[in-house]
Chain A
Amino acid sequence: MHLRRTIALLAALLLWLPLTLAACSGGSGSSGFDAAPQSENAAITQALDQQRCVTHENLQICPVGPQPANSAHAPHVGTGLDGATFVACTSTAGSSACSFVLPFTPDGFAPTTAFGVAVRTVSPDGPWQIAGTALANGASGAPEFDVPVSVEAPSNAPSPSGHVQVAILAFLQAPSSLPGHFEDLSDSGADFAFVTNELSVQFAGPPAAD
């Protein structure tokens, strides 16, 4: 009798739980007057064309280079590719990939800010891939980074060249983990993304053996 009652109570509980869980599936939302572009690509284009930071989906997208025009004292990132339209990429022997080193210097960030580098092929656009670990050089008050970036040569390219775009990601609070690739920069969890122009990749042969 006791067992039967217990089973009945458990059965009632199992019936009740999904209903309560369903009843708890509420929604929320927000509204505003943000002057944000509809797509992330549009935001990237706007940031590069107008040389200013653009907010998109809680991510500040800024051009690499000196302080943007609309943000005095704003954090910014200088790279060896400011204003560049091509990058020399050294092929790896026996591989369709090539690599280059991206130096960058952030300024105006809190000391606890973490940085990462993402690269994607463009035209057509591929997903963003996280490049190598950002290795810090320089003094703690003036950090400098050198990041090895690997690019896969397009298999159907008529000639050894392609186009890529690089983004330096800034995380105000270091993430516990980072996805290896993502469709949009806003999916990375970064607070800032400093993007380069679309860069023509000039594939160069592997360095000659000594």
Chain B
Amino acid sequence: MAAVAPSRKGIKDVFYETRVLMGREYTVRRFAKEVLGDSIDAVMLSYIEKGKRFPSEALVRRLAALRSQDPHPLLALLWRDRLLHAFGKELRRVLHAPRAVAGVEDAELAVRVSQAIAALPDDGGWIPVRQWRAAFRPAPRRGTARATPQARAAHDTITSQVEDTLRQQGLVEIRAGKARRRGRHFVAKDVEARQALAMEFCALFAKGLLDKLALAEEDTGTYLRNHYVNIAPARLPEFQKRLDAALRALAEEYATEASAHTRFLNVLVTSTPF
């Protein structure tokens, strides 16, 4: 079964796919007026689909009813997107980021880098470059037959960026149409990479927290726990080193080839003293 790069759907994607899956005749204007009962004007709906504005919670509940689904997963998406947006604004101040980057797309590069590294076998075996690229290439938005030329160009840019980044860090080797891993740990160095990685980490934490708080009754597959201990400061490096080694061993033991039947598990770890 061909590997499919996991998607990071936001609330804007849910609005877009709901409209598009209803049929081509449902333009933004018609969808806002007839389906959403004029509860929102077409311009605002267009902003919501592009991620430039957030919908209200009432509108999200209305959409959930339209989709005949429990509103809580969609509300959790909205809350996560809002958390990331607020975090992104503060992060740009912290990193003195020179340019404004839209909402949750800030994490795109870091997400693709993670997927690209995980798509290469742990044993250093070679795989075809085409197969490797397919594993981390962004999929077209659900509801679109194929990506637009602009979207394809943007995806090609991200793919090139990921490959260049991994090559520069000596994490991947590409030769004669095949690729293999040379390392497994990506370090975010420049401002853009640090910003992207920080947004990815924030997205992971926000999802985990909201899975536990807002979707407690559902089987989200999220594990969230805090282990705490009094420790001599001199033993901190040793503790963190052993923690990293244990997690790496677990990841390598459970790693399997990506397919439509696998999930991309992120294990976000912070060990920090107060």
Closest to A108 in B: B234
Also in contact, A74 and B122, with CB within 8 A (given A31-B188, A58-B245): no
Chain B residues whose CB sits within 8 angstroms of the CB of A74 once the complex forms: 234, 237
> Which of A29, A71, A108 has the most chain B CB atoms inside 10 A of its CB?
A29
**SS class, residues of chain A in contact with chain B:** loop
Kindly specify which of A7-15, A18-26, A41-49, A154-162 makes contact with the partner chain. A18-26
**A31–B110 CA distance with the chains assembled, in angstroms:** 9
A24-66 interface code vs B (CB 8 A; 1 in, 0 out): 1111111111101010000000000000010100101000000
CB of A75 within 8 A of chain B?
A: yes
CB of A191 within 8 A of chain B?
A: yes
**A74–B233 CA distance with the chains assembled, in angstroms:** 8
**Among A36, A72, A191, contact of B187 (Cβ-Cβ < 8 Å):** A36
Determine if A30 and B184 form an interchain contact, defined as CB atoms under 8 angstroms apart. yes
**A71–B237 CA distance with the chains assembled, in angstroms:** 10
Also in contact, A58 and B255, with CB within 8 A (given A27-B181, A28-B118, A32-B185): no
Also in contact, A33 and B233, with CB within 8 A (given A23-B257, A26-B256): no
> Which of A31, A53, A172, A191 has the most chain B CB atoms inside 10 A of its CB?
A31
Q: What's the tally of chain A residues with a CB closer than 8 Å to chain B? A: 27
| CB of A96 to closest CB in B, whole Å | 36
Chain B residues whose CB sits within 8 angstroms of the CB of A108 once the complex forms: 234
CB of B156 within 8 A of chain A?
A: no
Closest to A30 in B: B185
Also in contact, A33 and B197, with CB within 8 A (given A25-B121, A58-B245): yes
Also in contact, A29 and B233, with CB within 8 A (given A58-B245, A191-B238): no
Also in contact, A32 and B119, with CB within 8 A (given A55-B237, A75-B234): no
Determine if B238 and A172 form an interchain contact, defined as CB atoms under 8 angstroms apart. yes
| CB of A61 to closest CB in B, whole Å | 12
Determine if A27 and B188 form an interchain contact, defined as CB atoms under 8 angstroms apart. no
Determine if B255 and A27 form an interchain contact, defined as CB atoms under 8 angstroms apart. yes
CB of B128 within 8 A of chain A?
A: no
Chain B residues whose CB sits within 8 angstroms of the CB of A36 once the complex forms: 187
Determine if A28 and B184 form an interchain contact, defined as CB atoms under 8 angstroms apart. yes
A73-101 interface code vs B (CB 8 A; 1 in, 0 out): 11100000000000000000000000000
CB of B232 within 8 A of chain A?
A: yes
**In the complex, chain B residues 55-71 whose Cβ is within 8 Å of any chain A Cβ:** none
Also in contact, A32 and B257, with CB within 8 A (given A27-B181, A73-B232, A108-B234): no
Determine if A31 and B245 form an interchain contact, defined as CB atoms under 8 angstroms apart. no
Closest to A75 in B: B234
| CB of A58 to closest CB in B, whole Å | 6
B224-249 interface code vs A (CB 8 A; 1 in, 0 out): 00000000111001100100110110
B-side interface residues toward A, CB under 8 Å?
A: 110, 113-114, 117-123, 125, 169-170, 181, 184-188, 194, 197, 200, 232-234, 237-238, 241, 244-245, 247-248, 251-252, 254-259, 262
**9 more A-B residue pairs beyond the given contacts A26-B121, A27-B122, A58-B241, with a C-beta to C-beta distance below 8 A:** A22-B257, A27-B121, A28-B122, A28-B254, A30-B248, A31-B117, A31-B188, A31-B200, A55-B237
